[in-house]
Amino acid sequence: MALSFLKKRASEENEMTFVDHLEALRWHIMRSLLAIIAGAIVMFVYIDWIFDNVITAPLQADFVTYIQLCNLSHWLGAGDALCLPPPKDVEMQTITFGSQFMSSITIAIAGGFIIAFPYIFWEIWKFIRPALTPKELKSTRGAIFWVSLFFFLGVAFGYFLLAPFTFSFLLNYTIGTKHLLVARPTLADYMENLIDIIIGSAIAFQLPVVSYVLTRIGLVTPRFLRTYRKYAYVAILVIAAIITPSPDWMSQMIVFLPLCALYEFSVVISSRVFKRQQERDQNWD
- CA torsion sign for 93, 157, 162, 189 is negative
What is the C-alpha separation between 116 and 180, in angstroms, rounded? 45
Write the burial class of residue 112 (CB in 10 Å: 0-12 exposed, 13-18 middle, 19+ buried).
Answer: buried
Return the percentage of the chain with pLDDT > 70, whole number.
Answer: 88
pLDDT band for position 1 (cuts 50, 70, 90): very low
Q: Is the pLDDT of residue 174 over 60?
A: yes
Which spans in 222-248 are helix H?
Answer: 222-227, 229-243
Are 120 and 92 in contact by the 8 Å Cβ rule? The answer is: no
Q: How many CB atoms lie within 10 A of CB 86?
A: 20
Rounded Cα distance between 183 and 172, Å, is 9
| pTM metric for this prediction | 0.81
Cβ(265)–Cβ(212) below 8 Å: no
Phi, psi of 177 (to 5 degrees): -110, -5
DSSP string across 21-51: HHHHHHHHHHHHHHHHHHHHHHHHHTHHHHI
Amino acid at 215: T
* Cα–Cα distance, 264 to 255 (Å, whole number): 15
- CA–CA separation, 143 vs 137, rounded Å? 10
Mean pLDDT score across all residues of the chain: 83
Please report, for the chain, the start and end positions of each structural domain, with discontinuous segments joined by +: 2-205
CA-CA-CA-CA torsion for 252, 253, 257, 259, nearest 10 degrees? 0
Eight-class DSSP state of 182: -
Q: What pLDDT, in 10s, does the model give residues 13-65?
A: 446 676 777 888 888 899 999 999 999 999 999 999 999 999 999 998 889 98
